[in-house]
Amino acid sequence: MGNCLWGSNEEVSNPIINNPREFNNFNQPGMMRNNVNGVGGGARVHGPVVGRIIKPDLKIYTFIELKSATRNFRPDSVLSEGGFGRVYKGWIDKTTLAPSKVGVGIPVAIKKCNADSEQQGLKEWKTEVNFLGKFSHPNLVKLIGYCWEDKELLLVYEQLNKGSLENHLFQNKVESLSWTTRINIALDAARGLDFLHTSENTVIYRDFKAASILLDENFGAKLSDFSLARIGPPVDESHVTTQVVGTYGFAAPEYINTGHLYVRSDVYSFGVVLLEILTAFRAYDLNRPTGQTSLVDWSKPMLSEKSKVKKIIDPRMDDYPPEGANKLAQLILRCLQNDPKNRPPMSEVVIILERISTIRMNPKGSKPGSSKTKRPHSYHPSPAQRQNGLGGGSSPRPRPVTK
């Protein structure tokens, strides 16, 4: 998770949620407007009373129903916590999706917005519904339903049992991931991002990081937390200009410096996550020695030399093929190019990762310079870096930069 963040007061682009005052009855049928592709404009909302999503296959829950599903939001059902609020484990019927008893039906993750973060929470809530309620893809977390009553904003997702990639990379209590598992996770995440970039209305994820990658029981990866995503530029333009939001260490330099957001700004962030996967070092860590706070700045010079790549690889991952690791290092360097035009599109990243996934260890079984020695890790969340997400950790809500 990032240590320092940016905040945003910008409006959510192309929300699919209209002003709730247009609806007189929360459960009244036939109240959905036509909205091509779910990206019509929406007015700024003040003091929400009740809302409805222009998407017929999302389940609409009442607040009382979700209280029942979480046993009145009991503390022992909390999966994680962050700037948006808390995420609770709940249970719903597999067929009707109605709330059910604990252990009956299917488990879900229910995100509940903090009452004291209504304005920012509503913006992020609307953005998540806009995108997750619209798309369906094996590598995107599934949004099942929502609740919008008065000031209560909740989202109901599928629950992924293994939590976030961030936890598996940086928590000592979690079993270390093998080379093959890490590459497969990266490949799943790349496919999800490529889908967003090549959709009819290009979507820029904008805050891609390991905390946003959730894992199922087989370590299949899905992207979650679309609260900062936005529609990309028109076909005749290269970028959109917007206030900078995101997480230190992951945001592309052109975005930080100019506010120009390119589709391939996401590719830079993906490269940072690949670097975390390879090294098990955080992208930005104030606990690291002077000169090593930024993982990109510190490791970039070593990625181009095979003899140095092996020195930064997570030593707990002792099953990696040197050829695969070197090719991954080359891909990372391409993703981290300063000029977005020089970064590969995610479609190409997918192809390269597929090739890397086929590279196996030398049959002789040994790697040059391999070692069983475990490197001490000091890259663990501080008390201030609270967990967030759907069963996994992520950064707190973006907040304004203070100098």
Q: Helical H runs in 228-284?
A: 253-258, 265-279
Q: Is 112 helix (H, G, I), strand (E, B) or coil?
A: strand
Q: What is the spatial distance between Cα 370 and Cα 60, in angstroms, rounded to a whole number?
A: 54
Helix boundaries (H) for 176-215: 179-197
Distance of alpha carbon 64 from alpha carbon 272, whole angstroms:
42
User: How far apart, in whole angstroms, are the C-alpha atoms of residue 107 and residue 91?
Assistant: 5
Structure tokens at 160: 């992924």
Q: Is the dihedral of CA 296, 299, 300, 301 positive or negative?
A: positive
For CA atoms 69, 71, 72, 73, give the dihedral sign: negative
Amino acid at 275: L
Beta strands in 226-265 (DSSP E): 230-231, 240-241, 246-247, 260-261
Please identify every residue annotated as catalytic. Answer: 207
- Cα–Cα distance, 195 to 248 (Å, whole number): 25
